[in-house]
Amino acid sequence: MEKMKLDKSSSAPPAYQQIISFFDQQIKNRVLLPGDKLPPERELAEEHGTARGTVKRAYEELVRRGLIEAFSGRGSFVAGEAVAPVEDRKDRAIRLIDELLDQLGRLKFSAQDIRMFFDLRLLGREDSLRNLSVAAIDCNPETLTIFERQFLLIPNVNLARIDLDDLFEDPGAGARLEIFDLVLTTTTHYQELIDRFPEIRSKAVQVAVAPTRTSIISLARLTPAQRIGILSESRKFQAIILDHLRTFDIPSTGVKTLFISQLERLDEFIAALDAVIVPAGYSLQKNREHLPALQAFTERGGIIIPFDYQIERGSLLHVEERLRTLLDEEKRSV
């Protein structure tokens, strides 16, 4: 590997950007190959007279770009098959758990989120849920994505996303809902759903959803002086974000919105922003033509904030109990 040189002149890019560019080129030019180990953060920082935090920030960005992988206790490697040391079953189990926790941490999941994931996976393994059909009903696609993402963790539970407005306009909606074992909706829409379809009362479950702690902290760090934008699929999601921003004294009048249907304007949109809020799970990088503008946005300090909701734990436990009950009834009927 070539020796890295940091330009410390006042006109040079920030040190962390130089580190990112150096390793980016080394990997793309095949000087560094999959599995090659990068210098430890502390060693690289000392060698070049920079702060360890600078190197850490650069490595985290390289991980985000998928160029390297970081493993707790082992270091950072060029993405690919790193050579694993010989280990016994217990050590291997601990390493796999540590690696998973590191990856979930980099994805900004809280300890509560991670516990919930494990609870749901264990629920699926213990009870072997089969052929349970669940409908998730709400008025905006972003909330439906929350239901979908959390229920993907439960094996063999088929979740159907249903838009509330579409359901109310469907003359055959009652028959459409008969096929489901459970019907989930938010507390906001539970009563109007029951009023419209009283026959589903026995299988309707209302759940509370709330922003994740990480999302709230990210919004709280924004200031009225920053130029803020929202990328949204629906106007209802836009309204939710604006309501939360107002709680942090950020007026909605200065916040710009780009709807996903207008994505061809993304480059122009982010060029005038300091921070952009996006629905959780949505990647701005999936359209390659926008990558140069996104890179310029992040290099000048632009912030991308995924705004994530989740089903609150009390509601999730209630849903789990309903699923267990359905499973028991199914077993007794066999």
HSE at residue 268, side-chain half, CA atoms within 13 A, is 6
Taking the C-alpha atoms of residue 189 and residue 57, their distance in angstroms, rounded to an integer, is: 43
List, for residues 231-258, the tens digit of each pLDDT value.
Answer: 998 888 899 899 999 999 999 888 999 9
Q: Which amino acid is at 7?
A: D
Residues 231/285, Cβ–Cβ less than 8 Å: no
Report the mean per-residue pLDDT for the chain: 84
In order of their start, the domains of the chain are: 15-78 (1.10.10.10), 111-210+312-333 (3.40.50), 213-307 (3.90.1640.30)
Q: How far is CA 70 from CA 8, 61, 103, 208, 254, in A?
A: 27, 11, 9, 35, 39
What confidence tier does 1 reach under pLDDT thresholds 50, 70, 90? low
Q: Is residue 130 over pLDDT 60?
A: no
Q: Is residue 330 over pLDDT 80?
A: no
List, for residues 190-237, the tens digit of each pLDDT value.
Answer: 999 999 999 999 999 999 888 888 899 999 999 999 999 999 988 888
Element (H, E) at 203: none
Residues 68/23, Cβ–Cβ less than 8 Å: yes
Q: How far is CA 243 from CA 111, 168, 186, 219, in A?
A: 26, 26, 18, 11
What confidence score (pLDDT) does residue 333 get?
Answer: 59
pTM, two decimals, is: 0.53
Regarding predicted confidence, which is higher, 118 or 180?
180
Return the bridge partners of 158, or none: 133
What does residue 271 show for φ and ψ, rounded to 5 degrees? -65, -25
What confidence score (pLDDT) does residue 316 get?
Answer: 84
Of the candidates 238, 228, 295, the residue with the CA atom closest to the CA atom of residue 261: 238
List, for residues 98-110, the tens digit of each pLDDT value.
Answer: 778 878 877 888 8
Q: Is residue 126 over pLDDT 70?
A: no
List, for residues 135-162, the tens digit of each pLDDT value.
Answer: 999 988 888 887 887 777 666 678 889 9
Percent of the chain with pLDDT over 90: 31
